[in-house]
Amino acid sequence: MACHGTDGKAEGVGRTIAARNADELYSLLLSYKTGDKTGTVMNQHARGYSDQQLKRIADYFSRVR
């Protein structure tokens, strides 16, 4: 909530993730999990989820309008 806002709708410096393409979000989450993308706390968050859970998270935020 602090970075991406309530329901993925950032109001500050974070990026909005609501309504983004599910495949794109999933790919980003996997990149954080594997360490291919670094430099944020997302690496730590993403490692705490299975690939299937990350897929469900991406699918959820892709439907938030």
**What is the Cα Rg of the chain in Å?**
11
Averaged pLDDT, 55-65: 97
- Give the tokens for residue 29: 């989450």
The band of 1, judged by pLDDT with boundaries at 50, 70 and 90, is confident
Report yes or no: 27 and 57 within 8 Å, Cβ to Cβ: no
The residue type of 7 is D
Whole-structure pTM value: 0.90
**In the chain, % of residues over pLDDT 90:** 82
Express each pLDDT in 18-43 by its tens digit: 999 999 999 999 999 999 999 779 99
pLDDT at 6: 85
The band of 14, judged by pLDDT with boundaries at 50, 70 and 90, is confident
